[in-house]
Structure 1
């Protein structure tokens, strides 16, 4: 019978995720996995799928080797480089390279069922097409929000993210160079990133393709309300700008 240590070692070697023994034991004892003679590789793949949909504060180790330093927010530290691999989850993502009104208009195009094609606005639901089937097709093409092509946002940012480690420490990260996969249409709330020797300046993570590996995943309980409330948050920000 496969031991928890074997599964944990395989997850760490393949994804650099230091799984919590408590979480792993609960996973292995669940009804869906409590079977004999299942290969360690198959169990590890199943566990990774569950990990990517979990809250890492519950599923990953809080050992200091795998979490952000407690003084990461110190603004007196001009710049430093963290050592090792640190898994984090996305709590918020913001496109700081696109105007607020452009983002609001993009959301409203999605609400109307329209998309941008070049300079032309087209309907995303064809005449005579089943609206439910059309919506399903858009969702299949876009796991994050079902409307990548209709968003009008190319995803080039740069983006500002709020990230959280297994110990619950939250930090802001800025996309210094374009990172494939980091976009409002692609990156779900709760998605897992692996930071590899990232730089920190004045308490802020500097994100680059060399320091970030996207692992994927989503926490449904966080992602759905975040997307449903995004337009209201943008409108609130525009109101604040106008008052200033």
Structure 2
């Protein structure tokens, strides 16, 4: 029995863009289509789409050969505070480089990060220290039942959030959540490197993109290195921004 014809580059590209992803460069998709693992059998298009989607959402879109050369980017004056109001003229894919929860003070976030680092959680005014689980074969483990907490996990903040975005050309701009956008938030709700598409018509005011549900799509994704660096340096950055802080 003959194998069905292999999916073509055009078919894979169309399937990805139809799902809302930006158009990848042919050089990005070719290794997926011509993978050594696919030489003996023809993988279904759905498998190739899943692989390409995962790799694209984990990639740095500023690197050459990731997105098509025709990909739209920010206007050069997008961060100009002198421009009172403007709108984007095309859909622009970008990635998240930073996020700040404006509903919390910096000190509140610092305290939460400090407690998390120490393995503590709070229940009302009571501080609960989370101890490491003892080995299964230890005497304590056999004599003492595991301690469970009835306190519910804290709900993710609903913002609003201030986000640092970067387009495929490397240009950066801050964006402010004007109205609640689903899947937007601080890690782990939304990771650093998360891919976002700003829709045509998105408003820009005084150098800041205004985020609304109708003009922004959160695709997901994560750049491991950038995400780890952001998390590890978050507390120090917040402390450096406190009033009266001297470095």
TM-score bracket for this pair, using the shorter chain length: 0.7 to 0.9
Q: Which has the larger radius of gyration?
A: 2
Q: How far apart, in 2, do the equivalents of 1:74 and 1:164 lie?
A: 15
CA shift for structure 1 position 118: 4.8
Task: From 188, 210, 215, give the equivalent of 1:206.
Answer: 210
**TM-score (norm. length: structure 1):** 0.81
CA deviation string 1:200-224 (max 9, x = no partner): 1122100122222111110001101
Counterpart of 2:95 in 1: which secondary structure?
strand
CA shift for structure 1 position 154: 3.9
Counterpart of 1:5 in 2: which secondary structure?
helix
Q: How far apart, in 1, do the equivalents of 2:229 and 2:40 lie?
A: 36
CA shift for structure 1 position 74: 3.1
Runs of 5+ consecutive residues of structure 2 not aligned to the other structure: 1-5, 137-152
CA deviation string 1:25-45 (max 9, x = no partner): 233334455564112222011
Q: How far apart, in 2, do the equivalents of 1:120 and 1:129 lie?
A: 27
Q: How far apart, in 1, do the equivalents of 2:38 and 2:81 lie?
A: 46
1:68 aligns with 74
Task: From 89, 100, 105, give the equivalent of 2:106.
Answer: 100
CA shift for structure 1 position 10: 0.8
Task: From 181, 192, 206, give the equivalent of 2:195.
Answer: 192
Task: Give the superposed CA RMSD.
Answer: 2.4
CA contact under 8 A between 1:61 and 1:166: conserved in structure 2? Answer: no
Counterpart of 2:228 in 1: which secondary structure?
helix
Larger helix fraction of residues: 1
2:150 aligns with none
**TM-score (norm. length: structure 2):** 0.80
2:146 aligns with none
**Number of residue pairs aligned between Structure 1 and Structure 2:** 221
2:174 aligns with 172
Task: From 221, 231, 235, give the equivalent of 1:231.
Answer: 235
1:134 aligns with none
